[in-house]
A and B are shown apart, each in its own frame.
Chain A
């Protein structure tokens, strides 16, 4: 257990529905990251927060995706109008600003039917 938790662990939804995932980082970590992994690929960066500020977003993060980190604590990733191509494992990671290691949660596996 790395100390980073994600909920839900699995989500099955129909195309066109909205979904929201939650990440609870290690409590003292001020930096939080979202990644997405599709089958056979390594994780790809989506977005990054320092405290509550979203500092970087990947081109992979279309307008249907939004992420928040209110009060610099937990984070949510919402996908609106899901598409089959959104099916993937969504991973969250956190780190302390003074170290390099990112600690990952177990991920949320999304299946869009």
Chain B
């Protein structure tokens, strides 16, 4: 994998259902994986920064896991609510670099 990729590009979730989506990233020269939530007309909000293989982080109903050996991360939303509707971005950066390389995002729409 040369680039950061996210799938799916978009998904519709019924309120109350749980969902998850994927971020794939280059496993070589990996330093950290970031997840952001970006609501329309707002600043992207930092959710998690993960560095260690097997890392799991949780913030309320949202959690994320990290596999650095195979180069993927999952983001889970439990019991989706309309306020979870947003674009979720993942980004990686290498040890020597400062810049974030972003995936294209997963747009989540939670239907009441």
Interface residues of A (CB under 8 A from B): 1-2, 4, 31, 33, 35, 40-45, 48, 55-56, 58, 91, 100-107
Contacts and interface: CB of A to CB of B under 8 A. Distances in A.
B101 A45 contact: yes
B43 interface: yes
B42 interface: yes
Interface SS of chain A? loop
B contact residues, range:
20 to 34
Contact of A33 (B41, B42, B99): B99
Interface in B1-38: 4, 6, 32, 34, 36
Contact of B89 (A1, A2, A43): A43
A42 B91 contact: yes
A106 B32 contact: no
Contacts of B86: none
A45 B99 contact: yes
B4 A42 contact: yes
Interface string B39-76: 00111111001010000000000000000000000000
15 contacts: A4-B43, A33-B99, A35-B100, A42-B6, A43-B89, A45-B100, A48-B98, A48-B99, A55-B98, A58-B99, A100-B34, A100-B49, A100-B93, A104-B36, A104-B46
Contacts of A56: 98-99
Most chain-B CB neighbours within 10 Å: which of A40, A42, A44, A56?
A42
A52 to B, nearest CB: 16
B91 A104 contact: no
Contacts of A101: 34, 46, 49
Interface string B85-110: 00001010100001111111100000
Ranked 5 nearest A-B pairs via Cβ: A42-B102, A45-B99, A104-B44, A106-B43, A2-B43
